[in-house]
Amino acid sequence: MTDPIALLIRPMQVEDIPRVMQITECQPEAPHWPVSAYELALNPNAAPRRVALVAEHLASRALVGFVVASLVAGEAELESIAVAAEAQRCGLGGQLLLKLLAALKDLDVSRINLEVRASNHPALALYARHGFRETGRRIGYYAEPVEDAELMCLDLG
């Protein structure tokens, strides 16, 4: 078994937004948010409140991934997670997810929910590996291309 890659996982800052958008640009499965959506996610006074984390390689300080979740009524919604294409399948997505789950537990969040394209096998496998269970399917939920959403959740209690 190889050691996990040494990462610094820290709150996202406004200065990180260009690199975060660059990571999603070439990945059709990732949500493509405008700058204003990231700015809103980082605004502590905005509703809903969000937890946004980025992962940096400890050695190079290169930003290689991020995750964003919103908090509503004691539950969270995983809105976006992406790892730079060249850094995938090295455990970074898993490390980001674990750090997010720990942060949500500290905020007394009882459950995290998500929607994912039914064809997004890497993401479905990541979530299943970390204990998410499928709770349903929304037919034709996504556009361009039209596709079903798998609904998943994980109880944090």
Ligand X SMILES: CC(C)(COP(=O)(O)OP(=O)(O)OC[C@H]1O[C@@H](n2cnc3c(N)ncnc32)[C@H](O)[C@@H]1OP(=O)(O)O)[C@@H](O)C(=O)NCCC(=O)NCCS
Question: Which residues contact ligand X (rule: CB under 6 A)?
Answer: 27, 29-31, 80-83, 88-94, 116, 120-123, 125-126, 129
Out of 56, 79, 115, 150, the active site residue is: 115
| Maximum CA extent, the chain | 44
Cβ nearer to ligand X, comparing 40 with 87: 87
Cβ nearer to ligand X, comparing 74 with 122: 122
Cβ nearer to ligand X, comparing 44 with 87: 87
Is 142 an active-site residue? no
Is 38 an active-site residue? no
* SS3 label, residue 121: helix
CB of 115 to ligand X, least distance (A): 9
CB of 107 to ligand X, least distance (A): 21
Q: Where does residue 136 fall: left (phi above 0), alpha (psi -120 to 50 degrees), or beta otherwise?
A: left
CB of 45 to ligand X, least distance (A): 25
> How far apart are the C-alpha atoms of 71 and 14, rounded to whole Å?
20
Out of 56, 79, 127, 150, the active site residue is: 127
Report which of 153, 146, 87 is spatially closest to residue 117, judged by C-alpha positions: 146
- ∠ CA 17-9-112 to the nearest 5 degrees? 85
Other beta carbons less than 10 A from residue 66's beta carbon: 26
- List, by residue number, the catalytic residues: 115, 127
